[in-house]
A and B are shown apart, each in its own frame.
Chain A
Amino acid sequence: MTGARSKLLTGAALVGLALVSFALSYVHLGRGSLAIAFGIAAAKATLVGAAFMEIGREKASFKLALLAAALLVGTLLAFVASDVRLRGRPPLPPPRLLRATVTILRPPAPEPARILRSTNGSDRATHLGSGCTSSPSSPSAFSSACATRPTPITSSPSRRS
């Protein structure tokens, strides 16, 4: 019956971790709380995967299928996060060597680019709290319900030589 015993012990560990998570949710840890909660969730998921699903005992093709899924899960989440978090950051300036060609080839700009910023002046995606996106050229233009009017600023000349 040792197989069943180890399953029961794993179950107890899982419930224990869940209780820890539950208790911690009442402690205000700020930004770390989500990370910790996810960490505990990942630990529990690992226990379920290893001890209950016994993934380690399955054939290579089985594990590969799950690995492929895991990689894609990571990919989708990573690129969505890097999109949402990094909007509003301007692209890198051209490298020094090419800067001359850019100046020569660039047509004269009629009007400086307007970057919408949130009222607190942060460069980050302005929809944090204000409901506006920072991309001025989005063709999928939607009616942005800006709670506060952001302060438009012109791009600084030093950045776009």
Chain B
Amino acid sequence: MTIADLPIPPGAEPSAESFLGAKTTFRSWALTTDHKRIGILFFFATTLMLLLGGVFAMLIRIEHLTPGPTIMSEETYDRMFTLHGVIMVWLFMIPSIPAAFGNFIVPLQIGATEVAFPRLNLASFYVYLLGATIVIASLFYGGIDTGWTFYVPYSSHTPAAVLPTVTGIFIVGWSSIMTGVNFIATVHTMRLRGLRWMRLPLFTWAIYGTSIIQILATPVLAMALTVVGLDHAFDWGLFDPARGGDPVLFQHLFWFYSHPAVYIMVLPAMGVVSDVIPTFARKNPYSYSAIVYSTMGIAFVGFLTWGHHMFVAGMSTFDAGAFGVLSMMVAIFSAIKVFTWVATLYKGSIALKTPLLYVFAFFFLFTFGGMTGVAVATMSLDVHWHDTYFVVAHFHFIMVGGTFTGFLAALHYWMPKVTGRMYNERWSVVAWALVTGGFVVTFTPQFFLGNGGMPRRYYDDPARFQSLHVISTVGSWALALGMILVPIYMTYAFFRGPKSGPNPWGSRSFEWRTASPPPERNFEGPVDFSIDAYDYTTPQTEDA
């Protein structure tokens, strides 16, 4: 007898009209105010952006296969890595887990029927779409070659299509703020009666912390990019030293957002990990409050560390020292989480399924990425590693090894919730192995490249780096293959996969206490959250 055969708790019978089947017209999707449908819309839009950004990445790696030009010119190469960064950061990493999974899951996890502002939610999707379209449109004008960081004075003067790109990012930023505002209001005001803050599922806490960062950090980026846009379009010269400007100020404004932005990217992934582990260990978190407080700790202390991106930019040594110290502090919270997660797994009843496999990948890759982060936050080391492949490897370990594995864990964990179908475990494990192994082969050599002095954003490289580059590129092919497999077996599962039942994982978390896929109004009948989301000891009436 598998979990799928267990009797279904009352109220969790799949209704004849789940949110998927209820209305199927184009209009009912295009004008939906159902948070679940909006989540799915975001999922497809952001995943499309992921694939586009991935194509640029593959081309970059192919270019490094041979010395000199391989498949593109220098100018094209500059545009490739810039667009790879812009698309991945703003069009995939920042919105994906919050707007796709957050939108779908958070109201279910708090026992609500909707988010606080459903129409604002729909608007946030169209604003995202508009911004993304404008960024993509800039491709047709040749894209930009400034690096995703838009450093001045180059970005003020380059003849590339700076204006549409920054406009697009500006607009996507507002979508991000709208999402954040909606989630804050939702978690504060739409919780089920009796659902205290310290009983919320940890994924909801993670989205809440992320929303705080989105609201407070994004406007500063908006301003930084606005000034670059004005400098570029109208030659306002606000960062032009000849007119009294200071380029380092741009970096202050840019990184004031972009460092917290990496926590926008990683906190939701950590939230996924915090929810997957108890489910697949059938055990409550070792310390629920440690995860909660470290989440909020990251959200706030993450704002105090931006100068570690500017150690060699020319800012004062006072600032450099201060930011170095503060950067050490923020790492503490991530460490607390990792230890808590490992302790949660200890003596748990482990079900080695794909979501947990991605969590294991997360453990190793995120921890390694995080430790190398502490290393580059040490100024005396960073002066050597800054702008080399070492930094590139570090942030890919965090972003891909952390956020992307969290994204894939979320996808495999909640796919049955969303669709009511189960994917094929064998294929998902194969994809996992390719993604994880491919990733390691792609990016580990880059630490050595960087430590050996290979600068980042360089089109060509000395012969002594060639073999490492080749290894890295081959690794990227395995990574890409794994990534391509995922939509294939997922699509197959959606149409032909076995029905999953309401709770294939036997999770106690609140979103599983309704049918899969959920009905339009999320819960049919009375909602019972009296047993905790992580309580695997109290027997439920139907769960052995």
Contact = CB atoms under 8 A, between A and B. Distances in A.
A86 interface: yes
Nearest to B321: A91
Contacts of B322: 79, 82
Given A140-B151, A140-B247, A72 B216 contact: yes
Interface in B202-236: 212, 216, 220
A101 interface: no
Interface of B: 151, 153, 184, 188, 212, 216, 220, 241-242, 244, 246-249, 251-252, 256, 300, 303-304, 307, 312-323, 387
A80 B319 CA distance: 9
Given A76-B220, A89-B318, 14 more contacts: A68-B212, A68-B300, A79-B252, A80-B252, A82-B319, A83-B252, A83-B307, A86-B317, A90-B317, A91-B321, A131-B241, A133-B241, A135-B314, A143-B241
Given A91-B317, A91-B321, A143-B242, A69 B216 contact: yes
A142 interface: yes
A72 B241 contact: no
Interface in A55-112: 61, 65, 68-69, 72, 75-76, 79-80, 82-91
A131 B242 CA distance: 7
B315 A87 contact: yes
A113 interface: no
B476 to A, nearest CB: 28
A91 B324 CA distance: 13
A82 B216 contact: no
A157 interface: no
B375 to A, nearest CB: 19
29 contacts: A65-B184, A69-B216, A72-B216, A72-B303, A76-B220, A76-B252, A82-B316, A82-B318, A82-B319, A82-B322, A83-B248, A83-B252, A83-B307, A83-B316, A84-B246, A86-B318, A87-B314, A87-B315, A90-B317, A91-B317, A127-B246, A131-B244, A133-B241, A133-B246, A137-B312, A138-B313, A140-B251, A143-B242, A144-B241
A74 B155 CA distance: 28
Nearest to A86: B316
A82 B252 CA distance: 12
Interface of A: 61, 65, 68-69, 72, 75-76, 79-80, 82-91, 127, 131, 133, 135, 137-140, 142-145
A40 to B, nearest CB: 26
Nearest 6 A-B pairs (CB), nearest first? A138-B314, A86-B316, A135-B314, A91-B317, A145-B242, A83-B315
A142 B241 contact: yes
Contacts of A133: 241, 246, 314
B316 A142 contact: no
A131 B246 CA distance: 10
Contacts of A84: 246, 249, 316
